[in-house]
Amino acid sequence: MGRILIIGGYGHVGQKIARRLVAAGRTVTLAGRDGARARTVAARLGCEGTKLDLGRPESWAGPLSTASVVICCLDTQSAELARAVLARGARLIDISATDAVLRRIEQLDGLAARAGTLAVLSVGLAPGLTNLLVQEARARCPDATRFRIGVLLGLGDSHGPAAIDWTLRSLSPLATSDIQPLRFGDDRRALPSIPFDFSDQHSLMRRGIPKVETRLTLASPLITPLTLRALAWIAARPALRRALAGSMPFLRIGSDRAALVVEAFADDKQVPACRLVLEGRAEAEMTAQVAADVALRIEAMQEHGVRHLDEVLRLADMSAALSAQHITFPGAKS
């Protein structure tokens, strides 16, 4: 087992991944544009730190030369970093939720196959566990023609600056009809949900799965259909969006609950044929748990090429990792 390099490793999620891998006995290096910060954070976590600037390809060779696994926690503007990783025969894990990023890496499937290596995309909560839930729902309901994914994030949770900015930038203007009630877990009351551009729906449909839509719910007493429309209006205005992003870490009103629901529908029926739910706490911790588990498995995987999480694992394969993070998967709900 070789060194694991985490690009964006001193960020909110990167640190959580590193902590798990160090505890598992792996040799880890944190990398980022600020080498001094990477080394400072790494020393606190019991690993190493180095400089790697995505905008300066000449800074990549040193960190990549010693890595057998690379985890990318940043949205990349091109596929060149992924190309450099795979061309060296290292294995790649990408936790991006942006479909354009994943589509660029998908184009490297042939390169990865020729190099005898593997890239795993859609690793985290959404995408990631959402992909595995759709896979499970499809197995249980083979006649399903439509899938609806719901992602609930608690506004009482601690979200990193990059995640907050990405979420606000991804909000689209909302019509009244866009806001639909969605129930999570055993909740008696449905919560308002909105269409959201997580990559899971796109990658699943690209690979032949019938119609998939993903919806987002923000769990907080502050969230109503009216405030959701106001939030989308603010997010479309850069100055207001920056001000809101700066204030959100201090406006943690609600719980740190994170939950997923996948509903499978047959034909044009409005009642789901099956409904799967998954519950946990702290979205970043859940994402880190999934990423760390994949990192510990990836060198033993026999597949070569570029694959999404649901192409290399099933939900049952991750049961121990999910339990360790107190993530519950009760199974089918009516």
Pick from 52, 81, 79, 72: nearest CA to 124? 72
Residue 250: the pLDDT is 67
Q: Residue-wise pLDDT tens for the chain (334 aa)?
A: 799 999 999 999 999 999 999 999 999 999 999 999 999 999 999 999 999 999 999 999 999 999 999 999 999 999 999 999 999 999 999 999 999 999 999 999 999 999 999 999 999 999 999 999 999 999 999 999 999 999 999 887 777 788 888 888 888 888 889 999 999 988 888 999 999 999 999 999 999 998 999 999 998 888 889 989 988 888 888 898 888 888 776 666 778 999 999 999 997 778 899 999 999 999 999 999 999 999 999 999 999 999 999 999 999 999 999 999 999 986 655 4
List domains and CATH numbers for the chain: 3-124+286-323 (3.40.50.720), 126-282 (3.30.360.10)
Residue 334: the pLDDT is 47
Order the strands of the 305-308 sheet from edge to edge.
48-51, 28-32, 3-7, 67-72, 91-94, 118-121, 305-308
0.85 exceeded by pTM: yes
